[in-house]
Structure 1
Amino acid sequence: MNINAIIEGLPRFIDGVIITVTYAGGSLLIGFFMAIPVALMRSSRNRFFYWFSTGYVTFFRGTPLLAQLFLVYYGAGQFHHELDVIGLWDFFREPWFCAIFTLTLNTTAYTSEIWRGGLQAIPKAEIEAARACGLSDFQLLRHIMFPRALGIGWPAYTNEVVYQIQATSLVSVISVMDITGVARSIASRDFVYYEAFLFAAALYLLLVYGFIAFSRLVEKKLHRHLKDTTT
């Protein structure tokens, strides 16, 4: 094994980790909040909101992320003039923007279903009790429904975060130098494919299981009210 090539490329791998965390974290953060209105629209009785959100979720959950990435990055070029007129071409011409944009749209679709499932799983008695206390619809969502839905859906959301960390590896195909992009570059330069991708896999493992450990702490905090305090 050629360990020297990996040692020499370590600074680049560190930069790749930063890019991976930035892209995954940024898209997850934006998608987390974007998913809330999508989930509410999916539960709406308004036909327009329901079918619009259903079409959005169906498309992004039913098609490969790689195809979505190509559609945004390469497809935007066909609308160069239109995007330039509205001032968006400077964004869509950049790989980093297309990567985060696509990852955000993708995770929003999955997260919205987690939110929707969590909201539907809340016992009706809790909602009726909150209404009996005089809470408005906004107060009900903010103080009762969203916290409960988050607690219910947290294990599923943990899986979505893990998937998103792994999914960032696809952005290397549009020349983004994340962990996989760096591994591909070093492997092709020094012909150390086994060493480069094995090291990249180890970095992904550290990120994934580091988040899983953090997620368990968050889950305990979300469910601390269920802790048995009897002695």
Structure 2
Amino acid sequence: MISLISQYWQNYMYTDGYGFSGLAVTLWLLVISIVLGFLLAIPLAIARVSSNRWISRPVWLYTYVFRGTPLYVQLLMCYTGIYSLQFVHEHVLLDTFFRNAMNCTLLAFVLNECAYATEIFAGAVKSTGAGEIEAGIAYGMSRFKLYTRIILPSALRRSLPSYSNEVILMLHATTLAFTTTVPDILKVTRDVNSATYMSFQAYGLAAVLYATVVFGLIWAFRKLETRWLAYLAPRGH
């Protein structure tokens, strides 16, 4: 077991052009996917609930496609499908971007995460209490202030439980990164397994690492829910 841990640590510290360990690469994929997906999902969620079909329909189509197809297929499309197109080779920036496995992996993860987050936030926006909106209108708020001061803060707080589950699922989805040669936890684990032939111990150690990160995420989201959803808790008399 000690030799396995030593081998695992050596493979953890091996780099493939990124200079990160397997755990760091996994966390990097998760953080970038979540942050960019979150930032893109907010305006898309507003567009998704718009009464203007020319605005809401394209967003609906985007979320439908990315939630209706496997992430692995999306990853392969970004990694090999797009790069096979002729105009990508002819454009220097596109050729450089899609030649990099990390870029392709992040693109697929961000687009997938954004699609799910958009629907989560859009559902929370739709369920905003009519009284809250009417109060903002009574104060003479513009549509922009109504969204930034009432609707979005309320919707984002109420979507925390659902969004926390999506973040955990995104962590699990990062295991697909090894198929594009990105050295995440699973890629390192497979290398250790190939070197030691101790499959149970190698994958068991990887499972412990993933579970540790998940418990950390659950703890962080529970803290946020306790603070930001306190007003929904039953009040004692």
TM-score range normalised by the length of the shorter chain: over 0.9
Shift of the 84–3 alpha-carbon distance from structure 1 to 2, 3 Å rule, reads farther
Percentage of matched positions with identical amino acids: 33
TM alignment of 1:109-188, pairs within 5 A: 109-188=115-194
Q: What residue is the counterpart of 2:83 in the other structure? A: 77
**Corresponding residue pairs, total:** 230
Change (3 A) 1:227 1:77: closer
Matched, 1:37 2:36: no
Deviation at 1:208, TM superposition (A): 0.5
Distance in 2 (alpha carbons) for counterparts of 1:13 and 1:106: 27
Aligned to 1:218: 224
Give RMSD over aligned pairs. Answer: 1.7
Secondary structure of the residue aligned to 1:9 is helix
> Which consecutive unaligned segments of at least 5 residues does structure 1 have?
none
TM-score (norm 2): 0.91
Q: Which moved more, 1:5-14 or 1:199-208?
A: 5-14
Q: 1:138 to 1:170 in 2, by over 3 A?
A: same
What's 1:207 paired with? 213
Match of 1:107 among 100, 103, 113: 113
1:50-90 deviations in whole A, cap 9, x for unaligned?
22111110111011111110011011221254354262211
**Unaligned ranges ≥5, structure 2:** 14-20
Which residue identity is paired with 1:116? A
Q: Matches of 1:84 and 1:26 in 2, distance apart?
A: 28
Amino acid corresponding to residue 5 of structure 1 in structure 2:
L
- Deviations along 1:198-221, one digit per CA (max 9) or x if unpaired, are 110110000001110111001111
Q: Hey, what's the Cα distance between the residues in 2 that align with 1:190 and 1:79?
A: 40
Write the letter of the residue equivalent to 2:229.
H
C-alpha contact 2:124 2:159 (8 A) present in aligned 1:
yes
Mapped partners of 1:84, 1:23: distance in 2: 28
Structure 1 runs, 4 residues or longer, greater than 6 Å off? none
C-alpha distance in 1, partners of 2:85/2:94?
A: 10
Distance across 1 between alignment mates of 2:90 and 2:165: 38
Q: 1:104, 1:220 → 2: CA distance?
A: 28
* Equivalent pair of 1:38/1:53 in contact (CA under 8 Å): yes
